[in-house]
Chains A and B, each alone.
Chain A
Amino acid sequence: MTPGPGMVGGAAAARPRRLMRTAGLSVIWLVLLLFIVYPLLILLSRAFFDGGHLTFDALFATLKSPSSLRALGNSLLLALMVGVVGTLVGLLFAFTVDRARLGSRTARLIDALTFLPLISPPFTTSIAFVFSFGPRGLITHDLLGLKNAQMYGLTSTFAAETLTYFPIAYLALRPMLASISSNFEEASFSLGGSRWHAFRTVTLPLIIPALANAFLLLFGCSLADFATPLILAGSDFSVLPTEAYLQITGMFDLKSGAILSLLLLVPAGLVFYAQERFVAGRSYVTVTGKAATATERNSVSSSARIALLTFCILTVALILYFYALLFYASVVLAFGANYTLTLEHYRVIFTEGLPAIKDTLFVAAVGMPLGGLYGILVGYLVGRTKFVGRRAMELISMLNYALPGTIVGIAYLLAFNDKPLALTGTATILIACYIFRYSPTGIRTTIALLQQIDKILEEDSASLRANSFVTFRRVMLPLILPAFFAGLGVVFIRSMTAISATIFLVSINWSLITVKILENMTEVALGPAAAFSVFVIVVVLVVTGLLNTVLRRMTAPSLRVSRIGT
């Protein structure tokens, strides 16, 4: 930590402080309007204006169509299942790692392995499912001897999405659990309550904001995911994002594609609203200025510990198996046909695929710090300061995340193709798309963490005449650093792995690995697709590993200071 710019006298500092905040707010509003509101308005005008006239005919036609309504119902069902089960699995993992007396090496191993689905390019879980389940699946046919197993539909889409997204819940919940001193559980336990009672009455209420947050994130992910249903949903279980995608890419029907995806906004908005209602008005302060001595954590009984561990190990084993399969597919000539070992696929990706690799790394590296920063700034402004339009800012910042990527992509394409801001064909449009689409994780995590931080800490700092920037930097920043790194990580990971929005934004000049993967999948070229996926996973593992190391180095002392020091 470098020393701050110094503390300035209160009266003299008031004006620059206000100026600075106004400037910061203006910048944030400007980018929000430019990269979220403007493209959507362009898209809406395409959807509802016909030759200069406002018309809702297309909307009514969509609402009347039973297949659209069925797709909406399916999407909601799927998102609800993934949200609930994914959050639960994430909670179990977080609790196991934080409370079940795991060695730090085991914990780190679980961390690394649960990361895998999160850092994989789209289609990897789906492809592993195609290999494993189904009439000739390695698991259903070869292992279990089932003859007529079907693998397309709700069940496999749900399972694949849950496995892909639960680490997001884990990521969001673990810092929260870690920040709750187990002394509270301990207190309840030593007062004669059962461990379960302690968890239910002490820990659970404290993590409700985080749970709601995790659920919202997963619900949104599933609602917007088009890659998994594209491969696994089959023809009898249609969901909205895939329908909208097919409508736009296939029928060249921007209008009804846009309208289909606008239907998604309704449930996304409702969940958001419910979460606010549900969470509001409770106190979750645990990180206070008062000292809390850490004690040996003893929150779970031995049998619960074994059950939790077994569950985590089984899940992790399944994930490991999927990725072993993926790796195997990348080093054989043709999976399922010719198992001769080869490095040919890697030669292909590092020669023909090299431009895409370079472009992706550049986009991810630029987007990561910008996205992380944007995440905590918006999170801090929304979660900790008061200004007119605060709620609007919060909502708008979530929009690109809640909307299916297809719509965001098409909106960007339409908005930035012409003057005044002709960005198509540049890296900027890709970077902007990733930042504004994937920073909400950082924003939500920041807000959730802030809800746990006692405001008094901040007031102390302010009463010591530190200006708000100093307060933010010296007091808040160390506390919300985990959120910053979560945001950083997610933007980087998504820049390496997401496809739904950017498939419309890649250009001759700037291509992306994920688009190459999709392309290879449709070309009967599973080998290069698998090799690309393995490469992405390795890069992301290395980068997130580095981030975690940096985070540990940086937060350990400062958190200790702010927890203990008064």
Chain B
Amino acid sequence: MTTPDATRVEANDRSRSSKLSRRGVLLGALASPLVFRQARAADSLKAYSIWPENYARPMLEAFEKSTGIHVNFIRFSSGEALARLIAEKGNPQVDVLFGGPVETFTAGEAQGIFEAYTPPSAAELPKRFKSTQGMWTAIADDPLVFMTNTKFLQEHNLKAPASWDDLLNPAYKGMLQMADARTSGTAVTRIFSILQVNNRNEDAGFAYMKKLRQNIQAYTKSGGGGTVPVGLGQAAGGIFFIVDALFTRQKGYDVQISFPKEGIGSAAECIGLVKGNKNTAAAKKLIDWATSADMQSLLAPAKINFLPANPKVAPDPGLVSVLKSANIIEIDDSWAGKNRKRIVDRWVAEVLNAG
């Protein structure tokens, strides 16, 4: 008998000159072809992107066009990217971690996965946009928003929620989707926003979250996971980053974007140099480029609704008008970084598992 031809592989049968391999039985190949891809000879670097491909690709292609440096990248959610970088510490696979909320970068900094590099633009940035140790630098800013399904609001005679307490309305019972704090930076930013508007009175903040839990339909793995259910009307609403919410609207889903009057937080989107990187010069060039106006002025034309972090770049007027009514509050990142694990653990124990 023979195995199907289409699947014949280059068997490495150094050890088996026996009848077995002669008969096309691919036992020798169990030793497995050690297949490596040829590394690109030209100038290139490797990156994990936490930004979704449709945000990262146009940016990184523009970088290649302007510098000739090719960025080989793959996208992971923030938790996955971080878990990988930690696991790969002994044998780093990439040079740069691109995009993703600041809390991922502070957690990574604590794990020692970054190497300090301060790009020239960092000097112009406010304090919350850069690590004091130079481990990461912001490339954009991303406020949270409330996003609700228009039809749902009409059917229930509701206005788009304008206060944190509006989300406690029993009309939303079992109808809100938001991200799980274990995997999503969106969720962590949301929780710190709630603590911040409660003046960091944790008990008050958690009491609110426990009440909100009654209205939760599902906690999603990724920050944007609930956007389609809300767009479809399978869920009534949720709390998302503005970039995901506006993207949902751009797709044609009928959703409302609103802000709580008490205020809501915003996450700096960052970039960092991975410790043990192998293409240092190219990686630093990418960091320089991404933190400068060179990249951030491309966001608005590409309809990517991040706010630029670099003060030299004017934000898109459309985005500014959406944010006009917003009360964006500052989250103390060093406090958040120090207390992140404790707060998330408490959220898991008291909120998530309370259902």
Interface residues of chain A, those whose CB is within 8 Å of chain B, are 1-2, 5, 20, 27, 31, 66-67, 130-131, 134-137, 150-152, 230, 234-236, 246-252, 333-338, 352, 365-366, 368-370, 372-374, 377, 410, 413-414, 417-418, 422-428, 431-432, 469, 477, 481, 503-504, 506-511, 519, 521-526, 543, 546-547, 550, 554
Contact = CB atoms under 8 A, between A and B. Distances in A.
A522 B77 contact: yes
B83 A252 contact: yes
B52 A136 contact: no
Interface stretch (B18-26, B128-136, B192-200): B18-26
Q: Which are the 7 A-B pairs with shortest beta-carbon distances?
A: A250-B182, A337-B252, A250-B183, A136-B233, A522-B222, A338-B252, A523-B52
Given A150-B174, A522-B52, A235 B74 contact: no
A365 B19 contact: no
Given A370-B29, A373-B27, A522-B225, A507 B74 contact: yes
Given A135-B234, A417-B87, 4 more contacts: A369-B26, A417-B88, A424-B91, A477-B1
A27 B30 contact: yes
B326 to A, nearest CB: 21
A230 B355 contact: no
Given A426-B36, A427-B35, A524-B224, A2 B23 contact: yes
Nearest to B222: A522
B221 A246 contact: yes
A352 B56 CA distance: 12
Given A336-B253, A374-B30, A507-B93, A469 B231 contact: no
A251 B344 contact: yes
30 contacts: A1-B1, A2-B23, A130-B228, A135-B235, A136-B234, A150-B174, A150-B217, A151-B234, A230-B221, A235-B219, A246-B221, A247-B182, A250-B182, A338-B251, A338-B252, A370-B26, A413-B88, A417-B91, A418-B90, A428-B32, A432-B32, A477-B1, A504-B84, A508-B46, A508-B74, A508-B94, A510-B37, A522-B77, A522-B225, A523-B224
A131 B231 CA distance: 11
A246 B79 CA distance: 9
A543 B87 CA distance: 36
Nearest to A523: B52
Contacts of B184: 250
Contacts, number: 197
A5 B19 contact: yes
Given A337-B253, A507-B93, A524 B88 contact: no
Contacts of A130: 228-229, 232, 234
B250 to A, nearest CB: 9
* Interface core residue of B29, B30, B223 (most chain A CB under 10 Å): B30
A234 B93 CA distance: 34
Contacts of B252: 333-334, 337-338
- The range of chain B's interface size is 35 or more
A14 to B, nearest CB: 17
A503 to B, nearest CB: 7
Contact of A365 (B9, B87, B221, B253): B9
A547 B222 CA distance: 38
A167 B99 CA distance: 41
A424 B217 contact: no
B74 A511 contact: yes
A249 B80 contact: yes
B232 A336 contact: yes
A135 B72 contact: no
Interface string B210-243: 0000001111011111011101111100000000
A343 B85 CA distance: 37
B183 A234 contact: no
A235 B182 contact: no
Given A2-B23, A252-B86, A425-B93, A134 B182 contact: no
